[in-house]
Amino acid sequence: MRDAVVIGAGLAGLTAALRLARAGRSVTLVTKGPGGCQLSQGTVDILGYTPDRVTRPLEAVAAVDQSHPYSGIGADRVAESVSWLRDELGPELLVGDPAGNFHLPTAVGALRPTALAQPGMVAGDAVGGRTYAVVGVRQLKDFPADLVAGNLARSKAPDGGSLGATVAWVDLPARRGEADPTSLTYARAMDDEAFAAKFARAVAAVAGEGDVVALPAVLGVRRLGVWRQVRDVLGREVCEIPLPPPSVPGLRLYEALLGMVRAAGVRFIQGNRIVGFTPGDGGIESVTLAAAGGARHLKAASFIFAPGGFESGALDVDSHGRISEPVFGLPLTADDAAPLIPSVFWGPHELFEVGVRTDDAGRPVDGSGAAVHDNLFVAGGIIAGAERWREKSGDGVAVATAYRAADQITGGAR
């Protein structure tokens, strides 16, 4: 029997598994797929909007409503958890201070607040007077350099100052004869030092005036530090701008975290779904894995459930609009989707705040506030109370709640 089974390999599941393993616990990590990191920006958003844009995220965390996932954790513990993850990954993958947000360009030229970012991104932090030389790749359709530059030039930095931008293009296929390459195609090509040098020279030949050369986030997947190679050729700072999935920065984080989890001794099972559980004395005895050769029962002293939310299928809405959590049958904050769907697309979407309520230990609770299972903890998108995509809080919630759950199991909670 293992000390813990963690369900889900997104940011929450990987954080929980790594934290447990670092404390010397035996851990099995089970996931039906590779998690959602490669759908992310490859950064750690703590809190970006309240709905006003946030510059000091920990101050905003301290002021959240009591229904928010952060309210039972507190700003100090949020800062501790994301700082722990940053330090585990190291400065080649994450830099920044959880007390302050960067404001980084997006793939449409908007500004996105985030607390921790990859080192090849942060030179793009929007401050008054900064100018960007935006360079696109003709073969890469997901980076509209003209749109990015135009919107940046019309934007104001958070300090109120103006920004400037120019645009240029390079024509450089990543692979001969490929008609529709993705960002991942280019990133894999950049893992070859010779191709990265060729790309850098092509950019240097066309990049206009600007303090920072803004490029699509394709500067390598496994070979970290390609951005430095390009910067040194250009003689100017560069900033990578994340693109729609597959997200190269998100994949860097996923591969790094998964590698660390495996190196720490975590048993990793991918491609099988958890479909049920066996109750024990006051808690859960085992979870049921739907494997090809038949159901398997994974026993553990404790369980962390970090499956995501609606986007991953962890919360289900049937044809009658009934909302449910299908694995453990956990109580949810709402069970009818119909009144939660607004008529205005851009309005608040209460549906996405639906989820599981927890006690201060991170255990799911029923309507009376009692823990449903003594040894079951939840983390990440399954927890109610935050419209994570609108707030830009999903990464911080994932890390902080996973960290809390792991420390409850190991006795590291304060």
Helix (H) or strand (E) holding 397: helix 394-410
Q: Distances in Å between the alpha carbon of 77 and those of 6, 58, 126, 384, 397?
A: 21, 10, 28, 19, 11
The contacts of residue 252 (CB under 8 Å, 6+ apart) are: 42, 93, 118, 221, 224
Q: What pLDDT digit, counting tens, does each position of 223-256 carry?
A: 999 999 999 999 999 999 999 999 999 999 999 9
pLDDT value, residue 77: 98
What pLDDT digit, counting tens, does each position of 113-165 carry? Answer: 999 999 999 999 999 999 999 999 999 999 999 999 999 999 999 999 999 99
Question: Is residue 352 a contact partner of residue 389, using CB atoms and an 8 Å limit?
Answer: yes
Please list the residues that pair with 239 across neighbouring strands. Answer: 214
Average pLDDT over the chain, rounded to an integer? 95
Domains of the chain (ranges; CATH) run 2-92+252-410 (3.50.50.60), 122-241 (3.40.50)
Amino acid residing at 8: G
Residue 367 · residue 381 · CB < 8 Å:
no
Residue 413 has pLDDT above 80, yes or no: no
According to DSSP H, which parts of 243-314 are helical? 248-263
DSSP code per residue over 264-280: TT-EEEES-EEEEEEE-
Residue 76 has pLDDT above 90, yes or no: yes
Phi, psi of 374 (to 5 degrees): -65, -30
Q: What is the value of pTM for the model shown?
A: 0.96
- Band (pLDDT 50/70/90 cuts) for residue 397 is very high
Express as a percent the part of the chain with pLDDT over 90: 90
**Mean pLDDT of the 311-330 span:** 94
For 17-60, the pLDDT digits (tens) are: 999 999 999 999 999 998 899 899 999 999 999 999 999 999 99
At 56, the amino acid letter reads: R
Helices (H), 23-144: 57-62, 75-89
Closest CA to 187 of 225, 152, 148, 220: 220
Is 136 exposed, middle or buried, given 0-12, 13-18 or 19+ CB atoms closer than 10 A?
buried
Question: How many Å apart are CA 398 and CA 356, to the nearest integer?
Answer: 14
Would you state the pLDDT for residue 414? 56
